[in-house]
Amino acid sequence: MPHPGMQRKPRRPRPPASSRALLCAPPTGSRCTLHAGSSRSVSGVIAAAVADDYGDKDQGRCLRSLLVAPLHPADQPLDVCGFYGIRGHTYYNRKTPSITAGMDEQALLGLNPNADSDFRQRMLSLQPEKTFIRNKAAQVFALLFVTEYLTKWPKFFFDILSVVDLNPRGVDLYLRILMAIDSELVDRDVEARRNTLIKDTMREQCIPNLVESWYQILQNYQYTNSEVTCQCLEVVGAYVSWIDLSLIANDRFINMLLGHMSVEVLREEACDCLFEIVNKGMDPVDKMKLVESLCQVLQTAGFFSIDQEEDVDFLARFSKLVNGMGQSLIVSWTKLVKSGDIKNAQEALQAIETKVALMLQLLIHEDDDISSNIIGFCYDYLHILKQAIMLAVMKKLTYDEEYNFENEGEDEAMFVEYRKQLKLLLDRLAQVSPELLLASVRRVFSSTLQNWQTTRFMEVEVAIRLLYMLAEALPVSHGAHFSGDVSKASALQDMMRTLVTSGVSSYQHTSVTLEFFETVVRYEKFFTVEPQHIPNVLMAFLDHRGLRHSSAKVRSRTAYLFSRFVKSLNKQMNPFIEDILNRIQDLLALSPPENGYQSLLSSDDQLFIYETAGVLIVNSEYSADRKQALMRNLLTPLMEKFKILLEKLMLAQDEERQASLADCLNHAVGFASRTSKAFSNKQTVKQCGCSEVYLDCLQTFLPALSCPLQKDILRSGVRTFLHRMIICLEEEVLPFIPSASEHMLKDCEAKDLQEFIPLINQITAKFKQMFMPLLRAIFEVLLRPAEENDQSAALEKQMLRRSYFAFLQTVTGSGMSEVIANQGAENVEQVLVTVIQGAVDYPDPIAQKTCFIILSKLVELWGGKDGPVGFADFVYKHIVPACFLAPLKQTFDLADAQTVLGPECVQYLQQEYLPSLQVAPEIIQQSLRYRLPSSNEGSGMLSQNGNEQGTRESPHTPGRAALDLAISKMPPMALERPKPGASRSSPVRSSLRIRRPTL
């Protein structure tokens, strides 16, 4: 009968590995040689096993030494295992000083079921041995088991089980032996092959019987002996990791374990046992169902209400159980996603989400042990959350079947914008977990590209798109994606290698083709690492997959990408230059309108091809003569065609034909201009020997400026070419400038002049020359009368005026004031007067501001003794009055935030500046009282019906800086009151007379 009323004892720690290696030699023959110590209360075998760990002075020797060491003289023969019902004895061998355990054959091979009844009686009557003695006995049996089970003791467990039903002490030994065996087979790394064989044999022969014995023990002792029950739960938890889970994860076992969760002395061990069960590997769907069923029962029983639980020890175990259930669900979700079982994966994800609230409750618990036990679930949940978001983004990036690639409308534009938002989300995820993003993209990319021929276009496109997006999601310096971090570089390199060798560039859909070329150009540094792939990619650009694709959209985009690809890999292009130039020859042809031939590329696309050709020639390793020849071969057809088309334009009568011919001429000039982008300055042009070629182009193109037809189109092209030639030829272009300027300024309008000013600006900055013909043409156009209601003409004049003043600002602000000074006194005065007029007379705040900046700069540069003759008089007569006249003009809009006289400015004039000039107070008041901002004007305020209050303006209004600087440069002057009767039409001009002092 079991001992009733036994209280639960603290859980025993598993014995350390160092104390388990207790078997010195396997038993041989019919006699088993073991060692024993001097203890007389138990078997010498057990006592000796204890000796090494507990350090008794007579037992403090290792097991092997005790085999040969002499015993204490008082030692007497003892029963070996009689306490446990094993027939045998020990005695002292005086000839060979060692302990020998003599067992008959039957005792060696198993427990003797016919042992004398007195041994069984002793099991009932003797006091329980100390815990460490029982543990050592279990370890000895475990060591005997692993040595003899496969050969001499196959019925080990059956023999043990034959005496288990005697009493709790037998059950105790049985459970301890099982734990010791598990430690030998699972916890130790030595003899791995032997241990695996033993476990396989146990699964075949005895595990079901052992499981049945555990169930019987739990059922018999759960209410009477908590210690034995907890031991059995520990055994179940230990063995469940390597036995068939169905033997444990069934209704009868799970229900019993859940029942133990309600028993205070059992629930901690029950928690641990359930934890081991849910941690057991199994089918993901079955695991999900098992965990969910456990959660439902636990939640119904109130275990999820942790606020009402005061036992922190139990909560620590329960937190570990919740952690195990959460992690098991996450493992199941991962497996289901990989297998493509979306439905069950979604259910697993929902099951995980229902545990988040409980997870957070346990995480924030004040007890650190409870909180730390749930951290694994938190970490994995964050990981799965990032994975889930990444998968969602990858899915939503996919095009719909209805997307119209040929005629993109509003819906398509909205989806493109939506894709940009998804990209930003992916970039944020990359900041949090770049390794996860890289691994996810690599998995999707590799699986898709393996079978791209049979995969839908939208899936292929999004796989390549994800690779493209990684470049910005995982940014590096100067696009160095294939150096630095080895794992990242290796992953990207593998994906790029797959992209260029898989043949996916031949996919028959424009979206896939475009994404291929976009990605190739984005990762151009890959081809410096693996240049062997360049020929295949060049062929993709040049054949029907790229520049000769059936889709104009693909051809157009490919032309731009091809130009970028060649420029980024110019050093690697040398072996292919001749071949590329030959293959693109037909794409360079200038297509006049009358031939009826529709070119593969538009004129805008051809610009990129010409630029590519120029880059290939200039960056090649050919000699200067060879480069010159190649450049001439490239540009000569353009010049010849230009001359023919210009003659046709002069003779053309139909206006539509004139326009088409002018467009074609403009394209020819543009193509030639685009080839010069390969040069950075005159030096590179000379090194390539191409100066003569471009001078020939100038002589060919400039006659177009004298053509009276389609002037706007022709002048635009030639101006662009001149801009480039100033950079490439520098002073060699100067002989052509007068003639070109004369033609462009002839019969020009305000818009023409406005477009011509940047060219003159460039010439002035480059050669420190100023061209008065341009300025006179500007003055003439601005003085032309315009119809009162012609708003277009008025706007053109305003823009021309702004461009003119911006040009002067550039000249004065770039240290080129001498350019103006060298134009002659009359011309300089004329220019300065126009600046004063712009500052005072024209109600254009932008132009006024620019003019005052010019005046301020000129005063700074010329206001001293070394300034031009007469400039001091100009300051007194014009600049200083302008600083007052501008804000006092009726056209000066005080409601405009750009010109408003703020209170601080008025206060400055009234209290500081004008009194410093000795202006009488009544004159100051008269001059400023009408200029003070009212409640709904000035100060930037809105009217009373406005919605917001303005802010105070800075005192630095137009003219303030110029005035300050002018006064600082002026010599002392006297101000005198006006004579009686003087006109007072203008408060300042009539009341103040500035005079030079008498020196």
Q: What band does 502 get if pLDDT is binned at 50, 70 and 90? A: very high
> Residue for token digits 């030959």?
582
CA-to-CA distance for 324 and 11, rounded, in angstroms?
Answer: 21
Which 8-state DSSP code applies to residue 102? E
Q: Which of 62-66, 512-516, 749-753, 913-917 has the lowest mean pLDDT?
A: 62-66
Q: What HEC string does 411-454 produce? A: HHHHHHHHHHHHHHHHHHHHHHCHHHHHHHHHHHHHHHHHCHHH
Domain count for the chain, please give it.
1
Q: Is the pLDDT of residue 107 over 50?
A: no
The residue ranking higher by pLDDT, 94 or 772, is: 772
CA distances from 171 to 231, 256, 265, 330 (A): 10, 19, 19, 38
CA-to-CA distance for 254 and 743, rounded, in angstroms?
Answer: 100
The residue ranking higher by pLDDT, 273 or 925, is: 273
Q: Which of 43-57, 458-472, 640-654, 826-840 has the lowest mean pLDDT?
A: 43-57
* Domain annotation covers residue 581: no
Which class for 740: exposed (0-12), middle (13-18), buried (19 or more C-beta within 10 A)?
Answer: buried
CA-to-CA distance for 664 and 641, rounded, in angstroms?
Answer: 10
Which 8-state DSSP code applies to residue 249? S
Task: Average the pLDDT over 673-700 and give the result.
Answer: 92
Q: Which of 141-145, 149-153, 905-909 has the lowest mean pLDDT?
A: 905-909
Question: Which percentage of the chain shows pLDDT scores above 90?
Answer: 34
Neighbours of 342 (CB within 10 A): 10
Per residue in 565-599, pLDDT tens?
999 998 899 999 999 999 999 999 988 766 666 78
**b/e per residue 432-467 (b: at least 16 CB within 10 A):** ebeeebbebbbebbeebbeebeebebbbbbbbbbbb
Q: Is the pLDDT of residue 709 over 60?
A: yes
* E strand or H helix that includes residue 50: helix 44-54
Q: Are 563 and 570 in contact (CB under 8 A)?
A: no
* Domain annotation covers residue 160: yes
- Look at residue 579 in the predicted model and tell me its pLDDT: 94
* Domain annotation covers residue 1: no
- pTM value? 0.66
Q: What band does 80 get if pLDDT is binned at 50, 70 and 90? A: very low
Q: Which of 25-34, 191-200, 227-236, 897-906 has the lowest mean pLDDT?
A: 25-34
* E strand or H helix that includes residue 740: helix 737-745
Q: Which of 829-838, 876-885, 961-970 has the lowest mean pLDDT?
A: 961-970
Per residue in 973-989, pLDDT tens?
333 333 444 433 333 33
Task: Average the pLDDT over 785-794 and give the result.
Answer: 78
CA distances from 163 to 91, 119, 166, 167, 366 (A): 26, 11, 6, 9, 48
Task: Average the pLDDT over 402-416 and give the result.
Answer: 90
- Amino acid 747 reads D
Closest CA to 507 of 588, 451, 452: 452
CA-to-CA distance for 15 and 722, rounded, in angstroms?
Answer: 92
Neighbours of 953 (CB within 10 A): 20
> Residue for token digits 């800075």?
954
CA-to-CA distance for 278 and 240, rounded, in angstroms?
Answer: 10
Q: Is the pLDDT of residue 765 over 90?
A: no
- Look at residue 963 in the predicted model and tell me its pLDDT: 53
> At 101, phi and psi to the nearest 5?
-100, 115
Q: What band does 653 get if pLDDT is binned at 50, 70 and 90? A: confident
Q: What band does 126 get if pLDDT is binned at 50, 70 and 90? A: low
Q: Are 54 and 132 in contact (CB under 8 A)?
A: yes
Q: Is the pLDDT of residue 249 over 50?
A: yes
Task: Average the pLDDT over 522-545 and give the result.
Answer: 95
Q: Which domain holds residue 139?
A: 107-364
* E strand or H helix that includes residue 586: none
- Look at residue 782 in the predicted model and tell me its pLDDT: 79
Q: Give CA 375 to chain center in angstroms.
A: 26
Q: Is the pLDDT of residue 78 over 80?
A: no
Task: Average the pLDDT over 186-196 and give the result.
Answer: 80
CA distances from 686 to 17, 617, 732, 815 (A): 84, 14, 12, 29
* Domain annotation covers residue 735: no
Please report how many Cα atoms fall inside a 13 Å half-sphere around the Cα of residue 703, on the Cβ side.
13
Q: Is the pLDDT of residue 219 over 50?
A: yes
Task: Average the pLDDT over 682-689 and give the result.
Answer: 90
- Look at residue 40 in the predicted model and tell me its pLDDT: 32
* E strand or H helix that includes residue 801: helix 791-813
Q: Which residues pair with 89 in a beta bridge?
A: 102
Q: Which of 403-417, 562-576, 664-678, 942-956 has the lowest mean pLDDT?
A: 942-956
Q: Give CA 7 to chain center in angstroms.
A: 60
Q: What band does 163 get if pLDDT is binned at 50, 70 and 90? A: low
Task: CATH number of the domain at 324, please.
Answer: 1.25.10.10
CA distances from 394 to 92, 390, 422, 723 (A): 79, 6, 9, 47
Instruction: Give the angle subtended at the CA of 711 by the CAs of 706 and 712, to the nearest 5°.
Output: 145
Q: Is the pLDDT of residue 238 over 50?
A: yes
* Domain annotation covers residue 591: no
CA-to-CA distance for 630 and 582, rounded, in angstroms?
Answer: 11
* Domain annotation covers residue 314: yes
The residue ranking higher by pLDDT, 754 or 71, is: 754
Q: What band does 14 get if pLDDT is binned at 50, 70 and 90? A: very low
Task: Average the pLDDT over 827-855 and give the result.
Answer: 86
- Amino acid 155 reads K
- Amino acid 558 reads T
Q: Give CA 502 to chain center in angstroms.
A: 26
- Look at residue 940 in the predicted model and tell me its pLDDT: 33
The residue ranking higher by pLDDT, 921 or 232, is: 232
In a 3-state reduction of DSSP, which class is residue 592?
coil
- Look at residue 896 in the predicted model and tell me its pLDDT: 59
First to last CA, the chain: 136
- Look at residue 281 in the predicted model and tell me its pLDDT: 84
- Look at residue 31 in the predicted model and tell me its pLDDT: 31
Q: What band does 623 get if pLDDT is binned at 50, 70 and 90? A: very high
Question: Which percentage of the chain shows pLDDT scores above 70?
Answer: 77
- Sign for the CA dihedral angle at 794, 798, 799, 804 comes to positive
Parallel/antiparallel/unpaired status of strands 98-102 and 89-93: antiparallel
* E strand or H helix that includes residue 908: helix 903-908
- Look at residue 17 in the predicted model and tell me its pLDDT: 36
Q: What band does 779 get if pLDDT is binned at 50, 70 and 90? A: confident
* Domain annotation covers residue 984: no
Q: Is the pLDDT of residue 524 over 70?
A: yes
CA-to-CA distance for 905 and 506, rounded, in angstroms?
Answer: 71
Q: Which residues pair with 975 in a beta bridge?
A: 994
Q: Which of 200-214, 355-369, 584-598, 709-723 has the lowest mean pLDDT?
A: 584-598
Q: Is the pLDDT of residue 925 over 80?
A: no
- Sign for the CA dihedral angle at 490, 494, 495, 500 comes to positive
Highest mean pLDDT among 223-232, 561-570, 947-956: 561-570
- Look at residue 4 in the predicted model and tell me its pLDDT: 39
* Domain annotation covers residue 187: yes
Q: Which residues pair with 91 in a beta bridge?
A: 100
Q: Is the pLDDT of residue 768 over 80?
A: no
- Sign for the CA dihedral angle at 464, 467, 468, 473 comes to positive
Q: What is the mean pLDDT of the chain?
A: 78
Q: Which of 242-251, 442-451, 732-741, 880-889 has the lowest mean pLDDT?
A: 880-889
The residue ranking higher by pLDDT, 822 or 339, is: 339
Neighbours of 676 (CB within 10 A): 25
Task: Average the pLDDT over 132-144 and give the result.
Answer: 87
Which 8-state DSSP code applies to residue 508? S
CA distances from 824 to 107, 193, 770 (A): 131, 105, 11
Neighbours of 672 (CB within 10 A): 28
